[in-house]
Amino acid sequence: MDFDFLSSNLQIAYPFRDIVTVTRPSGGADIQSLVASLRMYTYDQRDDSLLLDEVDVRTSDSFATLDTATIVLRWGNESTQFKLEDGVNATARVVTYGSWVVVIWQHSTEDIVFHLIFPLLAAEEEEESSSSSSSSSELSLTFRFWKLLDDILILSSLVKQGPKKVKRVYMKRGSVLTQLAGAGEELSVQPGFNMELQQGSDVVSGGRQLTTVAIDAVPGAGLGRYLLCPGSEYLLTLNGVGANDNGDLKLGPEECYWLDIPVASGPTPVSEPQHNISSLATLESNQVRLRNACGPCCSCEDYVKLYENLHKIWGNAQVVAAQIDAIRDQYASLVAQLAAKQPSDDILFIAQSGSNLVVQVSVWNDTPDEVTDETIVTLTFELPDGSTWAFIQSVVAGLGDPIFTAPEDIDTTPNITIENELRPYQVYWWNTTWGMPDLEIDDEISVTAVISGGMSKAKTNELTWADLG
């Protein structure tokens, strides 16, 4: 066999998605001239992509044996790189077929097998010193390349994947398939009547280590001989409801109902407790009891008290809401007074109000042209060292109804973005209030307003903090 059927693969990117340039000891080379075929067997990674980063195969006897066999791969989603290295974490085997070389890596502990086929002509000659103290050398062959710039993406169809672990367990009875356990759930298999369970022999299939379970039917094993033989008396129906094909009848109490078995006598303490058993009881034979735990959730007196407390909370909430509305109306009135100021290129107005600072920015289109781009207004505060500010209120006026909006970057450079178009000579005002808890009398502060986007303006005002009583 000389693998002539693989020769056509040297002209296309197969088994890779793209034709990329890689690095070799002798220089750069196209990947399609180096690898004829490959195959990867691994556990479940079907949502990921596999990339080849490096191949290092060396021999001193024309690939009859291998001196070095290392391959570096990478999973694409998390860029997790892993290596298969002969004698370290894997075993590598080499076989030569005519003008083709086949190298197979098998991981020592994980279910990973990698097959690589390359033309013998792609190997390069390399002189290596036979010993550190001798000047003699022997001719070796090396097949090496590694990723240069572009990723070497392996076609997903060549990555054969199986489950790393059991994710779901199903039982099929006839044509009905029923899931017994899902991901993260525990499944317990126990021997029933006349059955034995034991570990079977371990086998290797396709490079995968398989552990089998032997299920044997043995008379008298498990829970003993099955006694419900034809002719024996047993329950056929319950209140006219019969069992299914397996002889099972489901009792499904809901809500506050539950089932238990009545106790005929006991519990009685035992003289010498063993295995955490401190008392014994006798159950009623052949009985299942239906119990009910329903009852009133609270008394009428408690219901009245709960209603009265809720009514009181509602009344307090109404009072607080009225206070909030009054404060908001006062603030809106202040904004209206500030908005009455005639627009001009003096775009910034600041004033002290108690322990707060009131800032108004006038955004005035003082041109006969319409401003169609959004406008951005940014504030910069310069305060004494150690002083801070706290945002209290922000409203935009002049564009219809007042717009109450919180600025961006409150703790550094507060700013807002207005997407409305501005007609010629139209103006709107951005009014804000800031708490200045750390300022002292005669402290000097500075505020700078910058308008950008559809127009470009800037202004800085200074203020000396005063005692307003």
Q: Which of 144, 10, 150 is nearest to 71 (CA)?
A: 144
Query: Is the model's pTM score more than 0.95?
Result: no
- Domain extent, residue 428, equals 341-464
User: What 3-state DSSP class applies to 429?
Assistant: strand
C-alpha count within 13 angstroms, C-beta hemisphere, residue 263? 7
Please compute the mean of the pLDDT values over residues 438-446 and round it to a whole number: 92
Q: Is residue 376 part of a domain?
A: yes
The answer on pLDDT for 220 being more than 80 is no
Q: Is residue 58 part of a domain?
A: yes
The answer on pLDDT for 133 being more than 50 is no
Q: Is residue 155 part of a domain?
A: yes
Q: Is residue 230 part of a domain?
A: no
The answer on pLDDT for 296 being more than 50 is yes
Place of tokens 């094909």: 245
User: What band does 141 get if pLDDT is binned at 50, 70 and 90?
Assistant: very high
Q: pLDDT, tens digit, for every residue of 3-21?
A: 444 544 444 456 888 888 9
412-421, long-range: CB < 8 A, 24+ apart = 413/378, 413/379, 413/380, 414/378, 414/379, 415/376, 415/377, 415/378, 415/379, 416/376, 416/377, 417/374, 417/375, 417/376, 417/453, 418/363, 418/374, 418/375, 418/376, 418/377, 419/374, 421/370, 421/371, 421/372
Q: Give the CATH number, domain containing residue 460.
A: 2.60.40.740
User: What band does 200 get if pLDDT is binned at 50, 70 and 90?
Assistant: confident
Q: Which of 7, 282, 257 is nearest to 119 (CA)?
A: 7
The answer on pLDDT for 417 being more than 80 is yes
The answer on pLDDT for 429 being more than 90 is yes
How do strand 68-75 and strand 263-274 relate by DSSP bridges? unpaired
Please compute the mean of the pLDDT values over residues 174-199 and round it to a whole number: 82
- Going by C-beta distance under 8 Å and a sequence separation of 6 or more, which residues neighbour residue 253? 259, 290
Decide which of 147, 162, 177 is a domain's last residue. 162
Total domains, the chain? 2
Q: Is residue 287 part of a domain?
A: no
Q: pLDDT, tens digit, for every residue of 310-334?
A: 999 999 999 999 999 988 888 878 7
User: What band does 240 get if pLDDT is binned at 50, 70 and 90?
Assistant: confident
Q: Is residue 150 part of a domain?
A: yes
Cis peptide before 267 (omega within 30 of 0): yes
Place of tokens 């303006």: 457
The answer on pLDDT for 291 being more than 80 is yes
The predicted structure's pLDDT at residue 96 = 92
Mean predicted lDDT score pLDDT of the chain: 84
Q: Is residue 267 part of a domain?
A: no
Q: Is residue 219 part of a domain?
A: no
The answer on pLDDT for 444 being more than 90 is yes
